[in-house]
Amino acid sequence: MKTDQNKVVSITYELREKNKDGEVLETVTSESPLTFILGVGALLPAFEAKLTGLEEGDAFDFILPTADAYGDYSENAVVTVPKEVFMVDGVLQEEMLYEGNTIPMMDEEGNKLNGVVTEVKEDHVVMDFNHPLAGMDLCFQGKVIEVRDATASELEHGHVHDQ
């Protein structure tokens, strides 16, 4: 069966920065494959496009340029946040304020975003809201290990259900 819209696809892959010789960023094995419904918008459109039309057992090897992945790194996404934002019931949540910690937050429009603490100062915290893979070309090498039709319930909910 070929990968196509509304098919449940399971893949294994190794993700490297830039090219086949780049730093390994992620490895997804057959013990815990990435399983998703193709075409529901859960993954990068360019990633899904590269997988469309493959069959179970097919290998893939492609590079997503920065523009087709998570875009350029933006200095405008590094912001200073007053420490009072991290107060709950009048108590500063200091245990979450350390360099490297990822904190889920919301912008003024209610959009959920993750920010990484890059610096903690006396009265503010510097946070980076860029995607961790922003500014990188991404090289994927992997294999399609299973393709099946999505159930009506999976399509209705927009995600794969445990079977």
What would the pLDDT profile of 92-147 be if each residue is shown by its tens digit?
Answer: 999 999 999 999 998 889 889 999 999 999 999 999 999 999 999 999 999 999 99
Q: How many domains does the chain have?
A: 2
Do both 107 and 52 map to the same domain?
Answer: no
Q: What pLDDT, in 10s, does the model give residues 78-104?
A: 999 999 999 999 999 999 999 999 999
Residues 139 and 61 in one domain: yes
How high is the mean pLDDT of the chain? 95
Is 2 a member of any domain? Answer: no
Structure confidence at residue 5 as a pLDDT band (50, 70, 90): very high
- Containing structural domain, residue 96: 75-128
What confidence category does residue 162 fall into, taking pLDDT thresholds of 50, 70 and 90?
confident
User: Which 8-state DSSP code applies to residue 18?
Assistant: S
- Strand, coil or helix: what is 156? helix
Taking Cα atoms as reference points, which of 130, 116, 128, 122 lies closest to residue 84?
A: 122
Three-class DSSP category at 62: strand
For residue 34, the cross-strand partners are 11
